[in-house]
Chains A and B, each alone.
Chain A
Amino acid sequence: MLKITDLHVAVDGGSKPVLKGLTLEVKPGEVHAIMGPNGSGKSTLSYVLAGRDGYAVTGGSVRFQDADLLELEPEERAAAGIFLAMQYPVEIPGVANNYFLRQSLNALRRARGEPEVSAAEFIKKLKAVAERVGVDPELLKRDVNAGFSGGEKKRNEILQMVMLEPKLCVLDETDSGLDIDALKTVADGVNSLRSPDRGMIVITHYQRLLDYIVPDFVHILADGRIRKTGGKELALALEEQGYEHLLGEAA
């Protein structure tokens, strides 16, 4: 469903290359974990997939379900089924969390030519999902992410993801800032979305998250490229040996 071929991306007005020939294919039903040291380009990859400004694609291609993803605006990518759970979710003062999510859901539905959901239907589903991903019902009424703790923000991202039912989930360091209990609830939420027709990219620093969201593939991203690919055992090896040792071996 997602095919990234030899992707080159630069930042700072195109002067600073970050991704240098990244290739990755995600098929429906697969969960891919991407690990890598700081500055390896993990977050850049997630932003490029979601269509954020300021990332210049200098080479390569990204196809998503037979469309040229790079040609689409961020809202069109969302409508096509891409969801990015952000590392630093943004606060929107004065906009209620539940209102925002309903606007989002209905915007996606309109873009797909589907009818909007009724308020009653929406609230029913929202309550059930909030309970499943451990979001306090009070947070639904508060302003989007305003005054949320780090953990609450991350859980709120997962709440949005489960509500919006994307085809491709991209999780950017969703585990950072979470204690072990929160990590489990978040993982449960993510796992509930695992299905044969949905793909996932889980970006993380730590092997810990992968105990709960068990990936089909683990990739090590370093210096803008995927340097090593393996099964879930690669994450364990990495935890024991460190990037330097593992990549040294690969080199």
Chain B
Amino acid sequence: MATALETVQDYAAKAYKYGFSTAIESDMAPKGLNEDIVRLISAKKNDPEWLAEWRLEAFRRWLTMEEPTWQKVHYPPIDYQDVHYYAAPKIKERPKSLDEIDPEIRSTYDKLGIPIKEQEILAGVAVDYVWDSVSVATTFRAKLHELGIIFCSISEAVHDHPELVRKYLGSVVPAGDNFFAALNAAVFTDGSFVYVPKGVRCPMELSTYFRINEMNTGQFERTLIIADEGSYVSYLEGCTAPQRDENQLHAAVVELIAHDDAEIKYSTVQNWYPGNAEGKGGIYNFVTKRGACRGKRSKISWTQVETGSAITWKYPSCILQGDDSVGEFYSVAVTNNAQQADTGTKMIHIGKRTRSRIVSKGISAGRADQTYRGLVRMQKGAEGARNHTQCDSMLIGDKCGAHTVPYIEIKNRTAQAEHEATTSKISDDQLFYCRSRGIAEEDAVALIVNGFCREVMNELPMEFAVEARKLLGISLEGSVG
């Protein structure tokens, strides 16, 4: 009979279920990055003048910046000239109806368990599908349109709603914010756009499904969500990629803006290819996600379940500008085999009586290494602001690591921040207890890990919680005995 440790050592044998690739003709830019490539992307996307300029400016900024090295992850230097910055499935025009989508792409989404048509009808979830660099389909649009909600690819938004895009793009994550954000601003090719008008409660989950297919391509999508006064929206992103030996770069930017009394709930189930057991291949997931609670009593809530990627490096953050605004961050990060993750959040309290809550659950197995890094900053004017942070780590086996690096900066005497942290292990006692009640070893591990993550899983929208629970089980799957 295997012990907890042995079970987990077997996890190395687990297979990534989404690792197939699809043979489809692509329109690709040559490898490398220079002003011509940026202009080529602008031309491909038919950018308006201001956006083309914005990209070039971002590119020039990027040239002057250095890749950061302060994070606790290790990877060989990335050759930014060895990447295709544009890859799109060869279609003359964006399909007008869902029936026009390339059957190969459709069948890929079917294999991933998210059939485009059926998902629309059955789940009542509006979905935007991003394939390599471009959005291939957005479902449920008409119904949303009746309510005045705009949900489309950002490329379309640039043309159809230029005033909104121009006003908000880069307003939360400026083009020169950091190395990867600048890169993204220069070469982003698609992503999702959401605008929810005043007083409208979006009646369904909005979702984007990202898929990297081509070899040697980077995926640089950009998502922009604006919730106008008193509105509410819940948004979910899911991600997979084929199994490839080389590393692929994913450098996305997400910007959220919540006005007075508005609420945005942003959930991520990230399952990019993590690389093989020896750490070969896998996605570098270097993402900048930030939300601005601009309005009074506004709320932004990030929930993430991170099981994939060779390296995950991101800090979904909230800038709490509006008085009485609320920021939340709920995270489950699973690292197994040779995966690395340096993730956490930033809560910047500016407005009075702003509140934030951070719940981070890290599970490390195999030889994986994982760091929670969080910043809670109470600015001078953050009268009566509060934060509560809870960081729990679970170690499976004796070769993995978990680290917690909380930064707390308080510049207002009335502000309060609390930090709690725990580290635990799945014990042989717990496994034996479950098994003696008839629950097989793998199911027992999944049960115990899901229990450990319950607080975060409860924050996921119903439809996705079930999927996320299964994913946790799969990520830690191993053959018994």
Contact = CB atoms under 8 A, between A and B. Distances in A.
A117 B428 CA distance: 29
A237 interface: no
Contacts of A100: 437, 447
B440 interface: yes
A95 B445 CA distance: 12
B450 A78 contact: no
Interface string A27-64: 00000000000000000000000111100000000000
Contacts of B453: 94
B438 interface: yes
Given A75-B439, A75-B440, A90 B450 contact: no
B437 A53 contact: no
Q: Which of B435, B438, B441 has the most CB of A within 10 A?
A: B438
A103 B451 contact: no
Given A53-B428, A90-B429, A95 B447 contact: yes
Given A73-B1, A93-B452, A78 B432 contact: no
B137 to A, nearest CB: 36
Contacts of B434: 92, 104
B430 A78 contact: no
Contacts of A77: 436
Interface string A81-96: 0011010011111110
Interface residues of A, number: 30
Contacts of B455: 94
Q: Which of B435, B454, B481 has the most CB of A within 10 A?
A: B435
Nearest to B428: A53
B443 interface: yes
Contact of A92 (B441, B443, B451, B481): B451
Interface size, B (range): 20 to 34
Given A93-B451, A94-B454, A108 B438 contact: yes
Contact of B441 (A75, A78, A104): A75
B433 interface: yes
B200 interface: no
B448 interface: yes
Contacts of B440: 75, 107
21 contacts: A51-B1, A51-B435, A51-B436, A53-B3, A73-B435, A74-B436, A77-B436, A78-B438, A90-B429, A90-B430, A92-B434, A92-B447, A92-B451, A93-B452, A94-B455, A95-B454, A103-B439, A107-B440, A107-B443, A108-B437, A164-B438
The 8 A-B residue pairs whose C-beta atoms are closest, nearest first, are: A94-B451, A95-B451, A78-B438, A104-B437, A74-B435, A94-B454, A90-B433, A108-B438
Interface of A: 50-53, 73-75, 77-79, 83-84, 86, 89-95, 100, 103-105, 107-108, 111, 143, 160, 164
